[in-house]
Each structure stands twice: as C-alpha cells, then as structure tokens.
Copies of this chain bind each other. A is one copy, B any other.
Amino acid sequence: MPPRKKAETPAPSSPERGGGNKAQTINDIARLAQVSKKTVSRVINQSPLVHKETRDRVEAVMREVNYTPDPFARSLAFRRSFLIGMVYDNPTAQYIVNMQNGALDGIRDSGFELVVHPCDSRNPAYIDGVRRFVQQQKLFGVMLVPRVSEDQALADMLAEIDCRYARIASVSLDHASRMLITHDRDGAAEAADYLHALGHREIALITGPASYRSAHERTAGFIEALQRHGLELPRHRVIEAGYTFESGVAAAERLLAGKDRPSAIFAGNDEMAAGVYKVALRSGISIPQQLSVIGFDDSPLASRLWPAMSSVRLPIRDMGRIAASMLLQNEPTAAAALATASVRPHLIIRDSCQPPG
C-alpha cells in the first residue's frame, strides 16, 4: 500500500522549508509533501480523489508554511476569477454598506473578494456596463440588489453569458436557487397590525413608486392586514410618492392639510417618513400625541429623529451574507436551502406611536 508507506516517510527537515517571507508555490508544497503538484491541486480544490492520509500530509505542509494558492494563477487556469460582484442601483448608503458587510461575512476565509459596481438602471445601457464588468473580471458570480435585482433583462443577460447570480427582492422572480426573498409584505403587515392594535382607525399610507416591487409589496401587505381587521383605506388616504425625502414632504402636506387628518401614517420607507416628521413639526402637529408615524428600513435616520421613529427593519447584513453564500454553493439545492433561511422583516418599536388622542 504505497500511500501508507508514504505517510510514514518522515517529513523533510526544516532547513528545506520556506523560512523566508517569499510566497510559497504549489511546487514547494508538492516537494515538501512528496507528491506531485497535481495532487496538491486536488487538495486545494477539495477533490474527493485523494487518499485521506495523502490529504492530511499535504494539508499539514500547507498549514506549516502558511501557504495560500495564488488567486490569479487559479483565475487564469480556471478561466474564472475569485471575485464576487455586487451590482446595485441607488438605494440608501446604509443599505449598501450593510449589504456589503454581509457579503463580506459570507465570503470570509473563502479566498473570494468583493468588488462593487454601482450603476444607474434608468439608463438601459447599464446592462452592457454590467456585462463588461462581469466578462472582463471573469466574475465568479454577482449579487443583484434591489432595484436592479428586479430587472429581468439583466438576469437574462447574465444567464446568457453563463454568470451566476443571486437576486435579492421582495417577491420571487426566479428559480429558488437564485432568489433571496425579503418578504417586505410581512413587515408592512406588522406595522398595520400594530397601528390597529393601538386603536388607530384613521390611517394613511404613503407608498413608494409603483415601479418598485418593494413598494408594491409593502403597500399590499399594509392594506391587506388592515382589511383583515375590517378596515378599508379610502383612496385619498393612499398617496404614491417617490421613496425620497422631498416626495414624502409633499405627500405629508396633502395628508395633513385639512381638518380631516389621519391619526397615523405609515410610509414605505424612512426617507418619506422623515418627510412626514418635517411637515408635522413645522405645522405644530406633535408626534406621537397627535400623529403616529411608522417608517420602513430602520435606517440610522429613524433613531436620530425626535421622537425616535418606529420602523420596519430588514436584516440587510444577513441578507448580504446569505446571498453571497448562495453564490459560492455548487449545488442549486444547497443554494435554495440557504435562501429559505428566514429573512423576515420585523417592526422596531420606538417612540413615534401611541393610541389616538
């Protein structure tokens, strides 16, 4: 049994080992472990076709000399890099940073690195930009963050050039192994339940732009939950805005103008909810005594406002971690299993709501 014999061969004496700081190569490891470089390669790539004893010996040597394979040599030979791309449009900075940190959690110690690619999805040419990015860097895979994640043309292009991707969106838009669903609907429903439980019946809603799936989901979740309580939102109490602070201000101005004011407002994101705060403060309407407000995103803004604002939080960092892990999975079923890890929003209760006066 040659393997056994080899396993008992004493390791080469230390003088041979790479003492200097210069990086070791696969050839050094092969020599030190007394195997061919191909076998070292198999160990690196976790091939099952290696005797356990051989593997152990090789791994011991790699650990001893602190060896890590050169990612560029591997990229060249593999014709595919060890880079994960994060493609995003233009949500809030905190969202991006959280998502990035999560993605870094997901690829930690995997030898992969994260490279970022902001883009402007209003310009259709952005898809070509992503294509160049993917092809030139031979990206291993890309994470698609809302709202670009909702663009089927982008997903189609990636499939065409055979690039892995993971889409993060509020509803399923693709095969389970490529989707991370955020269930925004449930979060909005929780906000509705909470306001209803507090006793609010005169409720208004400021929605995001209809072109965003998240806006649609949040709106639907909120309205349906109220309906389950037997409450119907009148048309004039539902205003579509643009997910921006300014649009939130404009919507709040309409909602809070007359005498027939709602006692509570739910906004589709924190930016718009901050707009409600501005109008209320300016008009002398006190929060929460005269008006309850809930946002969505739990951005830093929510806790910086006064009174601190209740908001629906999405576990963005976890989402980033899971999406990145999905990309690294070789089995679609394993990826799909990761995706079902419950990424659920939940309401963070602060000081912006109370029972209606």
Contact = CB atoms under 8 A, between A and B. Distances in A.
B96 A304 contact: no
Nearest to A139: B113
Contacts of A100: 116, 118
Q: From DSSP, what is the main secondary structure of chain A's interface residues?
A: helix
Contacts of A271: 304
A266 interface: no
Interface stretch (A66-74, A191-199, A330-338): A66-74
Nearest to A66: B132
Nearest to A118: B101
Nearest to A113: B115
- Of A101, A135, A245, A306, the most chain B CB neighbours within 10 A belong to A306
A257 interface: no
Given A97-B97, A118-B101, A282-B306, A73 B76 contact: yes
A245 B304 contact: yes
Interface stretch (A41-49, A203-211, A273-281): A273-281
Contacts of A76: 70, 72-73, 76
Given A93-B93, A115-B115, A282-B306, 10 more contacts: A68-B136, A72-B72, A72-B81, A73-B76, A93-B96, A93-B300, A104-B116, A111-B136, A116-B116, A245-B303
